[in-house]
């Protein structure tokens, strides 16, 4: 039986997110996804003239490779995957069905080694293909969201397939403002952080690379970050859940890091030199995602949030920082999470999760919901 929601999502991914064109080679990477969704992706890709390649993997098997492979083995995997990635124009990864903490028993040094060696594959995909990544709804995701499986599936397909083109138009005033901004200051309970984004600009994310989407990202000038940030949402990374994360910065570098697992968080920040510098600053504004569910593809889009990301910078908003790490950590600034402010060049831009400048108020949840309308 055909599932209309699968067809609708496949159409969005192929025609909008990846913009597949005639003769494009399209790598479809499916992890724990129903075959029926794969069928719809293949059909949509062929319908627009693309040439699909399917890869189906399983988290348990991939974990064993990371756990036991040595550097020489990982280099062979890298060379194989990099050669393939260089041949494709588009890449879609849908990841589902796994325990979010499946790799919790993989030693940190093994995970760091695998990330470092495989980094060129990720860089090729991010910088040289039209790519999109998303999760697939599962009982474990529903549990993290505090919802029944059926209710979460309904939420998932609604929040993934609204009118992203209207969201793209609504974000333009904030993009223009960030392009003119020098100094950013973030203030929240336990947070007083200042940095510059001068000359770096901003990129809206409105359904092209992540589904669901709804953020705009920039990047701090590498050595400009000063002060402290205290994150207030759980942050899964490398198979562990980190809570109560507090980072102190001096001249751009993390000089002190604590959490519920201070030892492991510092092991991650010691992966390489760039892991202690920041590669992204972003503002989340998806009006349908309001609460954290321990999945970064959702949590970083939360309305009224920011994420401030140790590690690798994106090439289009680059401060020169390079790292195997890219860890999106989320701070929600709505009143129920303690509130907070964002200042651009000493001017208040957002307070307690709501934009205060007239030209930005269409990005507030109530107004944006009306604009993009769930379909």
124 and 255 inside one domain:
no
First CA to last CA distance, the chain: 22
Residue 144 has pLDDT above 80, yes or no: yes
Domain with 125 in it: 4-136
Query: Phi and psi dihedrals of 303, rounded to 5?
Result: -60, 130
User: Is 141 within the bounds of a domain?
Assistant: no
Residue 103 shares a structural domain with residue 241: no
Q: Residue 104 sits in a domain of what CATH number? A: 3.40.1830.10
Verify that 322 and 281 share a domain, yes or no: yes
H or E segment at 17?
Answer: none
**Same domain flag for 206 and 325:** yes
Alpha carbon distances (Å) from 49 to 21, 86, 128:
6, 20, 20
Q: Cβ contacts of residue 29 below 8 Å, gap of 6+?
A: 55, 57, 91, 92, 93, 94
**Same-domain check for residues 183 and 317:** yes
User: pLDDT by residue (tens digit) across 188-234?
Assistant: 999 999 999 999 999 999 999 899 999 999 999 999 999 999 999 99
Per the domain annotation, does 158 fall within a domain? no
In a domain, 145, yes or no: no
> 98, 117, 136 — which closes off a domain?
136
| Among candidate residues 136, 154, 179, the one where a domain is terminated | 136
176 domain residue, yes or no: yes
Mean pLDDT value of segment 4-15 = 95
103 and 210 both lie in a single domain: no
Residue 151 counted as domain residue:
no
What angle do helix axes 59-68 and 108-128 make, rounded to 10 degrees?
A: 120
Mean pLDDT of 167-173: 96
103 pLDDT exceeds 90?
Answer: no
Q: What is the DSSP letter of 323?
A: -
User: What is the C-alpha separation between 142 and 325, in angstroms, rounded?
Assistant: 27
Question: Mean per-residue pLDDT for 79-103?
Answer: 89
- pTM tops 0.75: yes
Question: Which residue among 136, 152, 176 closes a domain?
Answer: 136
pLDDT for the residue numbered 375: 46
Query: pLDDT-based confidence at 313, cuts 50/70/90?
Result: very high
Q: Span 301-306, mean pLDDT?
A: 97
Distance CA 368, CA 356 (A): 14
pLDDT above 70 coverage of the chain, percent:
98
> Does one domain contain both 103 and 198?
no
- Whether residue 46 lies inside any domain: the answer is yes
| Angle of the 108-128 helix axis to the 262-269 helix axis, nearest 10 | 50
148: in domain: no
142 assigned to some structural domain = no
CB neighbours of residue 335 within 10 Å? 12
Q: Do 172 and 127 share a structural domain? A: no
Distance CA 331, CA 284 (A): 10
The answer, yes or no, to whether residue 104 has pLDDT greater than 80, is: no
Number of structural domains the chain divides into: 2
pLDDT of residue 374: 53
Which has the closest alpha carbon to 81: 94, 62, 67?
A: 62
Residues 120 and 14 in one domain: yes
Based on the domain organization, do 216 and 349 belong to the same domain?
yes
Residues 187, 52, single domain; the answer is: no
């Amino acid at each position: 039986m055909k599932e209309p929601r699968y067809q609708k999502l496949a159409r969005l991914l192929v025609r909008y997110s990846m913009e597949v064109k005639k003769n494009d080679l399209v790598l479809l990477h499916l992890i724990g996804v129903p075959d029926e969704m794969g069928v719809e992706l293949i059909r949509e890709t062929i319908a627009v003239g693309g040439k699909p390649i399917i890869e189906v993997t399983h988290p348990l098997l991939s974990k064993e490779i990371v756990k036991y492979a040595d550097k020489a083995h990982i280099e062979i995997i890298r060379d194989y995957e990099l050669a393939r990635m260089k041949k494709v124009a588009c890449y879609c990864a849908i990841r589902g069905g796994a325990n979010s903490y499946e790799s919790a028993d993989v030693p940190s040094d093994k995970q760091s080694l695998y990330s470092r060696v495989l980094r060129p594959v990720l860089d090729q995909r991010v910088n040289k293909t039209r790519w999109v990544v998303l999760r697939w709804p599962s009982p474990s995701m529903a549990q993290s969201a505090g919802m029944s499986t059926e209710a979460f599936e309904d939420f998932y397909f609604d929040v993934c397939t609204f009118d992203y083109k209207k969201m793209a138009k609504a974000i333009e005033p904030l993009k223009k403002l960030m392009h003119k901004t020098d100094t950013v200051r973030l203030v929240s309970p336990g947070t007083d952080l200042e940095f510059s984004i001068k000359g770096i600009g901003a990129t809206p994310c409105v359904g092209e690379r992540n589904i669901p989407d709804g953020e705009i990202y920039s990047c701090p000038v590498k050595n400009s970050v000063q002060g402290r940030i205290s994150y207030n949402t759980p942050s899964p990374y490398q198979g562990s859940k980190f809570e109560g994360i507090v980072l102190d910065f001096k001249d751009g570098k993390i000089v002190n890091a604590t959490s519920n697992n201070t030892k492991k968080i510092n092991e991650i920040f010691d992966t390489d030199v760039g892991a202690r510098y920041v590669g992204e600053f972003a503002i989340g504004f998806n009006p349908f995602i309001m609460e954290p569910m321990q999945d970064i593809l959702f949590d970083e889009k939360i309305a009224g949030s920011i994420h401030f990301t140790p590690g690798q910078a994106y090439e289009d908003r680059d401060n020169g920082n390079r790292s195997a790490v890219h860890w999106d950590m989320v701070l929600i600034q709505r009143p129920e999470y303690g509130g907070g402010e964002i200042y651009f060049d000493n001017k208040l831009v957002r307070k307690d999760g709501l934009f205060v400048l007239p030209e930005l108020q269409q990005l507030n949840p109530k107004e944006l919901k009306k604009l993009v309308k769930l379909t």
